[in-house]
Amino acid sequence: LLDPALEILPVEAARFDLPADAAMTVQAKAALLADALRLTLRRGAGPFRSAAQLGFEPRVYQLVPLLMALRLPVPRLLIADDVGIGKTIEAGLILRELIDRGEVDGFTVLCPPHLVEQWVRELKDRFGIDAVAVTAGSAARLERGLPLAQSLFEAYPHTVVSLDYIKANKRREGFSRACPDFVIVDEAHACVGTHQGKQQRFALLSGLAKDSERRLVMLTATPHSGDEDAFARLLSLIDPAFAALRFEDDKYRQRLARHFVQRRRIDLTAGEWGEDRAFPNHQTTELTYQLSAAHRDFQEAILDYCFGVVSKAGAGQRERRLAFWGTLALMRCVGSSPAAALSALRNRASAEIERLEPQIYDEDGDDEDAVDIEPSAQFNADPGLLDLVQRADALSDTPDPKLATLIKALKPLLKQGANPVVFCRFLATAEHVREGLRQAFPKLTIEAVTGVLTPD
């Protein structure tokens, strides 16, 4: 309560005259304005200083990482929530709150190059934070005109930086010296692999993590790919003590739980979260189709050919690996579409064996080129390939039973007003499906989004 005696002037009822140009309106609009004012005050008086600065209403579960961060003297988190749950939102909430509390002046978001502009937009639209994009294309322009003694990151305290740009040895050291004390790392799992690029990223993050006062929030939907060493390196960025995985130790698990959060969509549709309508119901079904005689004969010819290649492989390890990965790649393409099989057979001399295995297992590519290109069959001088190429080419003029089944499945969805997205494994298959769907649905606009397109 306030004591009126403490006021310098007598306390009296306040009255504010209407503006000179105030227009008459209806009571419903006045009530709407009053409700908006009351709700704004309520949000601003909550436990978080950032609440009134947000351009959206966060869901309950998205506040969990924020609460975890506020309980730590130096926030260091690995947020491993499922795709679509809102890891960007959760990291932004932590950042916005620490800025509004005066604990953070500058920050950097480290992410793959194709996510830089998206991060800049999200920070601006959702959190009211203006950040500068630092990429290979923009860095020179940003540095132009700066004093020699001032680094780019001192001039621009709020940045979103391309990992591929900043990981280079010649830039990494300078960035480490000028890096702000709050860092968000998106797609953190791409920084702990065995590829040279991933090793460079890990060296960068390791250097940043050595500063015990630096706040670090890492985001990934795939924290553990089955590689224990990679997961240990990821956890070591939080604390070097986590590098030795000891999940059987209760104290270790309890300590790690203060820094690690992982939820799946099914976890968040439980009743206690009150988020039953947060996500649509995920319905799955499998559709089978009957191969035509021509398609079946072609697939059997491919299997016979691949069996012969593997049987005739030389005694050397490289020859055996070449035969194994090459035949597996070819069979995957045949299973995708005759167009993909034809492309793989024609491109048989293009790939290196070291690149074949990652393509087969869909190891996405932070250091690889487009992965939707059909792998090479790798059998350069075999005359048996000519017959297979001719048979695959001939199939392009015959009805595709797999495509026909897809068209049949799409018709009821289109009648319901849906806008379906069809995912294909290979570029040639996507273009094959696009042409087939254009013929089946001539009134629709159908495009193929593949590695042929530029990132923009």
Residue 279, classed as helix, strand or coil, is: coil
- The CA distance from 208 to 85, in Å, is 27
pTM for this predicted structure: 0.67
Asked if 289 contacts 405 with a C-beta cutoff of 8 angstroms, the reply is yes
- The CA distance from 149 to 98, in Å, is 29
Q: Would you state the pLDDT for residue 351? A: 45
- The number of beta carbons lying within 10 Å of the beta carbon of residue 435 is 14
Write out pLDDT tens, residues 175-226.
888 899 999 999 999 888 766 667 888 999 999 999 999 999 999 999 988 8
Q: Would you state the pLDDT for residue 449? A: 92
Q: Would you state the pLDDT for residue 254? A: 94
- The CA distance from 361 to 171, in Å, is 32
Q: Would you state the pLDDT for residue 366? A: 47
Residue written as tokens 């959702």? 126
Asked if 343 contacts 317 with a C-beta cutoff of 8 angstroms, the reply is no
HSE of 182, CA atoms in CB hemisphere, 13 A: 20
Tell me 63's DSSP state: G
Calculate the alpha carbon distances from 276 to 81, 269, 413 in Å: 17, 5, 24
Long-range contacts, 195-203 (Cβ 8 Å, 24+):
195/366, 195/367, 196/367, 197/164, 197/167, 197/366, 197/367, 198/366, 198/367, 200/167, 200/168, 200/169, 200/172, 201/163, 201/167, 202/233, 203/167, 203/172
Kindly report the backbone phi and psi dihedral angles of residue 90, in degrees, each rounded to the nearest multiple of 5, phi listed first: -65, -40
Calculate the alpha carbon distances from 270 to 71, 86, 218, 263 in Å: 25, 17, 26, 12
Residue 161, classed as helix, strand or coil, is: strand
Alpha-carbon torsion angle 264, 185, 125, 133, nearest 10: -150
Can you read off the two tokens belonging to residue 153?
């990151």
Can you read off the two tokens belonging to residue 398?
């015959």
Rg (CA), the chain: 29
DSSP one-letter string for 217-257: EEE-S-S-SS-HHHHHHHHHTT-GGGGS--TT-HHHHHHHH
- The CA distance from 287 to 416, in Å, is 19
Going residue by residue through the chain, which has 456 residues, state the pLDDT in tens, using 9 for 90 and above: 678 788 888 888 888 887 777 777 888 888 888 777 766 655 554 578 888 788 888 888 899 999 999 999 999 999 999 988 899 999 999 999 999 999 999 999 999 998 999 999 999 999 999 999 999 889 888 888 788 778 888 899 999 999 989 988 888 888 888 899 999 999 999 888 766 667 888 999 999 999 999 999 999 999 988 888 889 999 999 999 998 988 899 999 999 999 999 988 877 766 555 555 566 667 889 999 999 999 999 999 988 888 888 887 777 777 777 778 788 888 888 999 989 988 888 776 444 444 555 555 555 554 444 556 666 555 555 667 778 888 888 888 889 999 999 999 999 999 999 999 999 989 999 999 999 999 999 999 999 998 888 766
